[in-house]
Amino acid sequence: MRMLISNDDGIYSPGIAVLADVARHYGEVRIVAPDVEQSSMGQAITSNRPLTYRRTPLKDFEAYRVNGTPSDCVALGVHLWENVDWVLSGINLGPNLGTGLWHSGTLAAAKQRFCWDSVELLSVHRHGTTTQSSKSCGLTSIRSSGY
């Protein structure tokens, strides 16, 4: 199992190393995280400058620091490392409670994987009619054919 780990507290945050240590018992781990703290960035992405990333020593993990947001890190990590099974985000230094969830970079990093893939939720075949429900970035669309 391949696990991509990110956060919003930055590559050198102690929580990311702890999460990676635990995750390695369940599969292959790669860390891609912001080079500096990016708390409260929400689902922001970088569009006004090129993103850069560098291999970074972090224990014995394959780790990269990115000059972007948590969402940028996950998008880049998924693009460069195919077939990611899980995206783990954290361990956060501060709380993510109440309305703080709306602008949490930690939560946004986890959600970003979902935004890059169209996930098939349901396919029903009934009397020659195909109904598919696809979910992408939290939006559900239903497409029917074969009436």
Name the residue ranges covered by the structural domains of the chain.
2-116, 118-147
pLDDT > 90? residue 11: yes
Rg (CA), the chain: 17
pLDDT in tens, 85-132: 888 888 877 776 667 777 777 777 877 766 666 332 222 222 333 333
Question: pLDDT at position 117, please?
Answer: 60
Residues 6+ apart with CB under 8 A from 57: 63
What's the distance, Cα to Cα, between the start and end of the chain in Å?
40
Whether 63 contacts 56, CB under 8 Å: yes
Question: pLDDT at position 53, please?
Answer: 95
Average pLDDT, integer, range 10-23: 93
Cross-strand pairs, 61: 58
d(CA 93, CA 25): 23
- Total Cβ atoms within 10 A of residue 51: 15
Question: pLDDT at position 136, please?
Answer: 40
- Total Cβ atoms within 10 A of residue 101: 12
User: Is-above-0.95 flag for pTM?
Assistant: no
**Lowest-pLDDT range of 13-17, 20-24, 25-29, 89-93:** 89-93
DSSP annotation of 118 reads: P
Whether 3 contacts 29, CB under 8 Å: yes
| Fold of the domain built from segment(s) 2-116 | Stationary-phase Survival Protein Sure Homolog; Chain: A, (3.40.1210)
User: 46 burial class (0-12, 13-18, 19+ CB within 10 angstroms)?
Assistant: middle
pLDDT in tens, 34-83: 999 888 887 888 889 999 999 999 999 999 999 999 999 988 998 898 88
Question: pLDDT at position 125, please?
Answer: 22
